[in-house]
Structure 1
């Protein structure tokens, strides 16, 4: 399986950023790590091996970017407003640095995004903020409400990066040109959020029921 390591100085973040890419061809999938996870987490935990056939046969090319959770939502040493601003910069990096690279390397304008747990949050947040750029969303045990990470603080950055809040008001037509998979186990701690968020989508588009 082709594996490539990339590191560059991100002008958006003002720091170095790292990523692993698996595969030589195929549909692009951005696979996010879990809470405070690193770019190599999905490889180390066996997720890449689990889909090795698809990668080796050129069906999918998987991009595993780093996260900056320790500088944003999980950094309890800074004010929640700064946490939200830092995450907004991460979203800008994905749009301004990662997405153009993927389009150039694969020839696809729209991508797939996925992740488990907090990686599911990253995938969902990016997909619903930028549905014109995302064709498929796979969120497994994902989280959709970020308010537990901001200690009661609320501002525009929190609102626009909290899917539970901004999706009900989102009228972008490409929301319904996207394949959406929300997965949660029977005793999953994220199940209630997944059911609530699924309900929001069904209210927006009854055809999903």
Structure 2
């Protein structure tokens, strides 16, 4: 399996970003790590190996970037307004740097976004904020409400990065064109977040698959079963 390391200076973040890329062709998939995970986490925990066949067959090319969790929602040393502002800059990096890069390299006009646990939040937020850029959304054990990280503070940056708040009022037509899979499990600590998001999508008439797996918890073994299944839905 072809693997490449990239490091570049992001003008939107004013710092360097690191990333691993797997494969040389196929549908571009931006895959986020879990809470405070680094760009190599999905490789280290075997999630990339679980979809090795798709990569080697040239069906997908997977981009694994760093997040800024330790400078955004998880940074208790700064004001919640600064956490939200920093996250808005991260979103701009994804929109103006990483997504265009992936689309240019693969020659495909949209991306898929995916992630486990808090990586599911990053994926969902990008998909619902920028549905014109996204063809597929796959979350595994995701959580989608970041108000738990804002210490009761609320402003527009928080609203527009919190899917359960802005999605009900969004009428962006491309929302109805995304292939959405919300993966969770019977004993997942984030199951209720997935049910809540599914209810929002149902009220808007947005087709999606709420996949609740039996006899599993919030952990890598079930995510490694889910991810190849979900990638198989890419047309």
Unaligned runs of 5+ in 1: none
- 1:48-67 aligned at under 5 Å gives the runs 48-67=48-67
Q: Are residues 1:177 and 2:177 paired?
A: yes
SS state at 2:158 partner: helix
Who is 2:85 aligned against?
85
Who is 1:155 aligned against?
155
Preserved contact between residue 179 and residue 208 of structure 2 (Cα < 8 Å): no
Distance 1:199 1:101, change over 3 A: same
CA distances 1:136-178 after superposition (whole Å, capped 9, x unpaired): 0001110110000000000000000000100000101100100
Who is 1:13 aligned against?
13
Q: Are residues 1:131 and 2:131 paired?
A: yes
Distance 1:54 1:206, change over 3 A: closer
Cα distance, 1:208 vs. partner?
5.8
Cα distance, 1:206 vs. partner?
6.9
SS state at 1:28 partner: strand
SS state at 1:189 partner: coil
Preserved contact between residue 116 and residue 139 of structure 2 (Cα < 8 Å): yes
Who is 1:204 aligned against?
204
Who is 2:113 aligned against?
113
SS state at 1:184 partner: strand
Cα distance, 1:103 vs. partner?
1.6
TM-score normalised over the length of structure 2: 0.87
TM-score normalised over the length of structure 1: 0.98
Preserved contact between residue 175 and residue 206 of structure 2 (Cα < 8 Å): no
- 1:16-31 aligned at under 5 Å gives the runs 16-31=16-31
CA distance, structure 2, for counterparts of residue 208 and residue 66 of structure 1: 27
Cα distance, 1:61 vs. partner?
0.3
Distance 1:206 1:116, change over 3 A: closer
Total equivalences in the alignment: 209
CA distance, structure 2, for counterparts of residue 160 and residue 207 of structure 1: 22
CA distance, structure 2, for counterparts of residue 208 and residue 94 of structure 1: 24
CA distance, structure 1, for counterparts of residue 61 and residue 103 of structure 2: 12
SS state at 2:186 partner: coil
Who is 1:46 aligned against?
46
Distance 1:201 1:41, change over 3 A: same
